């Protein structure tokens, strides 16, 4: 199942050509996943997951430019891989808020839980793995 988030680009997200700047697109992807991975994890009683998640790998592919128009973008996120110490999310960014709006950007992030005390990546706990499976299954 796909988790859906709506994000609203800001005027300052534009580059000189009027399109969303690459670095700002990466920030919008982050804003799309935060409600599930941080707020949702806290609500599920998982206090360690939102304390530390790092991006291990990021790929972004642009299919069409996105112009900032004041309209929200629809971001569909799927859990595509769940491993002992990382998970992979795939994104589809639509040019507007509807599923029927064209996909302008696809992306993928590999994320790993991070121990902020030991300053190193760590394994996902069984409840965290279940939370991720359930979070995307309920989407």
Q: What is the pTM of this model?
A: 0.92
Higher pLDDT, 17 or 84: 84
Chain segment 69-100, per-residue pLDDT in tens: 888 999 999 999 999 999 999 999 999 999 99
Domain of residue 111, residue span: 3-137
E strand residue ranges, the chain: 3-7, 53-62, 73-82, 87-94, 103-115, 120-121
Looking at the 3D structure of the chain, how many domains does it have?
A: 1
* Euclidean distance between CA atoms 28 and 23, whole angstroms: 9
Residue with tokens 């064209």: 102
Confidence of residue 138 (pLDDT cuts 50, 70, 90): low
Tell whether the model's pLDDT for residue 139 goes beyond 60. no
Average pLDDT over residues 15-25: 90
CATH number of the domain that 97 lies in? 3.10.129.10
Chain segment 22-68, per-residue pLDDT in tens: 999 999 999 999 998 988 899 999 988 888 999 999 999 999 999 88
């Amino acid at each position: 199942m796909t988790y859906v988030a709506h994000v609203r680009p800001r005027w300052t997200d534009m580059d000189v050509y009027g399109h969303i700047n690459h670095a700002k697109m990466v920030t919008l992807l982050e804003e799309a996943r935060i409600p599930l991975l941080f707020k949702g994890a806290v609500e599920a009683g998982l206090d360690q997951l939102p304390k530390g998640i790092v991006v291990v790998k990021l790929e972004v592919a642009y299919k069409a430019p996105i112009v900032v128009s004041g309209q929200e973008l629809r971001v569909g996120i799927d859990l595509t891989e769940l491993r002992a110490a990382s998970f992979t999310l795939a994104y589809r960014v639509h040019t507007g808020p509807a599923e029927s709006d064209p996909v302008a950007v696809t992306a993928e992030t590999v994320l790993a839980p991070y121990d902020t005390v030991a300053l190193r990546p760590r394994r996902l706990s069984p409840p965290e793995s279940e939370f991720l499976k359930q979070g995307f299954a309920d989407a």
